[in-house]
Structure 1
Amino acid sequence: MQELTQDRAPVLEALERMKRARLVPFDVPGHKRGRGNPELRDFLGAACLDVDVNSMKMLDNLCHPVSVIRDAEALAADAFHAAHAFFMVGGTTSAVQAMVLTAVHRGDKIIMPRNVHRSAINALILCGAIPVYVNPQMDKTLGISLGMKVEEVADAIRRHPDAKAVLVNNPTYYGICSDLRAIVKLAHAHGMLVLADEAHGTHFYFHKDLPVSAMDAGADMAAISMHKSGGSLTQSSLLLCGPGVHAGYVHQIINITQTTSGSYLLMSSLDISRRNLALHGEEIFSKVLDLVAYAREEINAIGGYYAYGRELIDGDAIYDFDTTKLSIFTRPIGLAGIEVYDLLRDEYDIQTEFGDIANLLAYVSVGDRPKDIERLVAALAEIRRNYSKPQAKMLKAEYIDPEVVCGPQEAFYATKEPLPIEKTAGRVSSEFVMCYPPGIPILAPGERITDEILTYIRYAKKKGCQMTGTEDMTLRTLNVMK
């Protein structure tokens, strides 16, 4: 048997052995290596459909891995400095939910920032745990949520010593990092688990000039979006566990919601991408850091825009900054981030990650080239020249402190009624309202609806943000608790 080293890719190797065996498929999927669906084969390619296969002995089984998937997960754990790693084929949403469902049960409390991804609050709907929010500080100029202050986490622990876990974003969508090591030390001293939503922090494990990773900071679990900065296929992620977490129980939790038909396209992409990062990660992310530094300098030279970076660090709410993030403040040119986002896509054929009411995020990875950065910079300069306007009528982005009336599960499953959105002030929401991306709720189930929240929703909708989470997709009505 070959030694397990980081230059191996066990799932890939097993798929190659399967192809050489020339098996006759009397199993699912029904396209039978693409023969049954020529149009799909022509679009995706025969090589893709050849390995879109079902679990079998030589390929192992994601629900109960005993061979090649087990080996691939062991290599992932080693690469990411974890005691155990799980391949997730439902995206980081499924990893975050498995993490939360492992840590808390019905009625338990979990301390978390209010700017969590919807997946974390959805997990609370599933398990019935109660959120204790550490309301993030806001940068009043940029209008972005910052990290969790250690003293505010300490205060939440003092007020809720019976909480079971603390969840931390590492980093936020914009690149802001909390003092994760201090939060871990504090939580562990009070017997609480630390969970990290590391959807945007895959690269932290592979370069010395980036913020500390969750596993290196001593967190108990971390959800990793390999498909974002790690290069794997969309919807493929990892769930990492530290030595103090019972991996067998975590696996049981994962199997409650994860598919029994794990995609070998996604699993092989995790395996190949892990190998690539383990062998070449530092070189890869050095190039990304150089690209973003160049882009930041060129964008700031345009005037009006502000591409921010490590100068924001204050050692507290902004303990560190992910310098691979090309986050751009657009309000000085009189345009919301979502308006610049739309112009880039519609007029310049440039697709950025997202825009909010004050910022734009351009996601830069190893797949980008200097000429791509130059095209983006040129387009931003032209937008400033041709579309800028006074910012007097722009809504100032501020954090809206939610009033939590009841837990998300109680509100979501409560008897509810739809009301015209303009008549909902004072009522308790039984559903989400959020801009996607990034998928951080403006309003979550169990929170009181206020005039301030309604003003923000109307403004975001008017500026072109994609509003999601509601049963009424037009957002003319909102479901509230009766």
Structure 2
Amino acid sequence: MEKELFDQKRAPIYEALQTFRNMRVVPFDVPGHKHGRGNPELTDFLGEQCVGIDVNSMKPLDNLCHPVSVIREAEMLAADAFGAAHAFFMVGGTTSAVQSMVLSCCKRGDKIILPRNVHRSVINALVLCGAIPVYVNPEVDKRLGISLGMSRAQVKKAISAHPDAVAVLANNPTYYGICSDLRAIVKMAHDAGMVCLVDEAHGTHFYFGDKMPVSAMAAGADMTAVSMHKSGGSLTQSSLLLTGENISAGHVRQIINLTQTTSGSYLLMSSLDISRRNLALRGKDVFRKVVEMADYAREEINAVGGYYAYGSELINGDSIFDFDPTKLSVHTRDIGLAGIEVYDILRDEYDIQIEFGDIGNILAYLSIGDRMQELERLVSALAEIRRRYQRDPSGLLSQEYIDPEVVSSPQQAFYAEKKSIPLHESAGYVCSEFVMCYPPGIPILAPGERITREILDYIEYAKEKGCSMTGPEDPKIEYINVLEEDGRADESVV
């Protein structure tokens, strides 16, 4: 596709599906519901238009594993819209994009520099490939109890101590809206001969909004995973993997095809195609309105008293280099309620579903589909919750992030001989599985980390407050898998 043919008004997959719908093709292929006829209850629930385009790969519709026509054109348009050399449509969520990104750069024994407060998908990738994490423990805002970005000094120190590392990975932004100095991190990585990877799950709007923090591609990163389904408006589980000029697109495609389905959903792919077109044509205006709504909500919530809806005033030029203005993060601890308690009250008593609540904060995720009247409803509900439920905050835990003691690589610990013991008896053992609150999906414990009394107290507190705990083999999280032999690994892990 020549440069002059990058017409962002086009949506090639959508157009091909429209043509297919009008052809009245007789289906002797999969899926077995045959355009919905074989599953009338599903058709009634989702609608004929939806199930009618839930089809298999065929020549006119291209193939996600090896795109040569309409999917290739759609990916090229996405790359152009996001300022990337290549874009890959991902139908396994940003988890799949993050894992493909890491697996493209790291193999067994390679070191990768990254913050410990990463999404579990990053550590899952290390379990799969056997790479060794070099953790940069983030600074913590003690008042808010949240982990911050990667400071330049910490990254520089890690690179200096581990010049043989192959990659540096950054979260940008964090769930709470905190951004690192991405340009500086990219430069430090490149100067050391390392690639720079970015988990940009919550940063789709950085590419289209005005006066936003710098995007990964604009900062010169080599690869980034972007959750189009979060702030970009596509269907859940659809995502993009973007790469820069110095990354082999053919190699990345091979890595993606190791784990991604060979039966790519055209519902998900068309939603990526249509959403990219929407953002390219209208994103700047749309996200300007989102920022205006977020600014209004922050001002109103702070006027209620007790809460702290934080924003760009936190910027310190380093570990909080910038702030995502669309993020409506609210500290709740000063009214005597954990964030998860406010989360539950909003849902159960006010029919308001926010993104998540942790032990000290809530996040209301604002994006292209929000309206001002719904924000006013949220503000009113928070004011009423404060009036009805406020209590003495003494005794509430405040810190969300606990520095881990890493004993072995995630892969070694995950596949090692293990035993199941009661959680309350596990202090001192090395964990062989994950424990986390979801969302946000940042592990409290990851395979290979020492279990401490502080961590156990945190887990019990989070369970008591009603956080949704995931990860362990035991669904009740009363037992935990630990290494049979508590010896330090031969591998050097930081």
Q: Does the pair score TM above 0.5? A: yes
Distance in 2 (CA, whole Å) between partners of 1:170 and 1:284 is 21
Distance in 2 (CA, whole Å) between partners of 1:396 and 1:357 is 7
Give the secondary structure class of the aligned counterpart of 2:198. strand
Matched, 1:47 2:49: yes
Distance in 2 (CA, whole Å) between partners of 1:59 and 1:353 is 35
Partner of 2:341: 339
Match for 2:332: what amino acid? T
Q: Which of 365, 377, 380 is 2:382 aligned to?
A: 380
Partner of 2:81: 79
Deviations 1:272-295 (A, max 9, x none): 000000011100100100111111
Superposition CA RMSD, Å: 0.9
TM-score of the aligned structures, taking structure 1 as reference length:
0.99
Partner of 2:265: 263
Partner of 1:349: 351
Please list, as runs of the form range in 1=range in 2, the aligned pairs for 1:35-184 lying within 5 A after superposition. 35-184=37-186
Q: Structure 1 residues 3 and 158, CA, compared in 2 at 3 Å: closer, same or farther?
A: closer
Matched, 1:238 2:223: no
Match for 1:31: what amino acid? H
Distance in 2 (CA, whole Å) between partners of 1:206 and 1:468 is 34
Deviations 1:402-452 (A, max 9, x none): 111000000000000000011111100000000000000000000000001
Distance in 2 (CA, whole Å) between partners of 1:280 and 1:294 is 22
Deviations 1:360-397 (A, max 9, x none): 00001121111100100010000000011101111121
For the Cα contact (< 8 Å) 1:417–1:481, is it kept in 2?
yes
Give the secondary structure class of the aligned counterpart of 2:218. helix
Distance in 1 (CA, whole Å) between partners of 2:429 and 2:479 is 13
Distance in 1 (CA, whole Å) between partners of 2:339 and 2:243 is 36
Q: Which of 16, 19, 22 is 1:17 aligned to?
A: 19
Deviations 1:230-278 (A, max 9, x none): 0000000000000000000000000000000000000000000000000
Q: Which runs of 5+ in 2 are unaligned?
A: 485-494
For the Cα contact (< 8 Å) 1:77–1:240, is it kept in 2?
yes
For the Cα contact (< 8 Å) 1:99–1:223, is it kept in 2?
yes
Structure 1 residue 398: deviation in Å? 5.0
Matched, 1:282 2:284: yes
Partner of 2:364: 362
Give the secondary structure class of the aligned counterpart of 1:85. strand
Q: Which of 440, 447, 450 is 2:449 aligned to?
A: 447
Please list, as runs of the form range in 1=range in 2, the aligned pairs for 1:423-438 lying within 5 A after superposition. 423-438=425-440
Give the secondary structure class of the aligned counterpart of 1:454. helix
Match for 1:468: what amino acid? T
Distance in 2 (CA, whole Å) between partners of 1:35 and 1:330 is 50
TM-score of the aligned structures, taking structure 2 as reference length:
0.97
Match for 2:338: what amino acid? A
For the Cα contact (< 8 Å) 2:6–2:80, is it kept in 1?
no
Partner of 1:412: 414
Distance in 1 (CA, whole Å) between partners of 2:5 and 2:333 is 55
Deviations 1:330-381 (A, max 9, x none): 0010000000000000000000000000000000112111110010001000
Distance in 2 (CA, whole Å) between partners of 1:256 and 1:455 is 39
For the Cα contact (< 8 Å) 1:140–1:398, is it kept in 2?
no
Q: Which runs of 5+ in 1 are unaligned?
A: none
Distance in 1 (CA, whole Å) between partners of 2:456 and 2:248 is 43
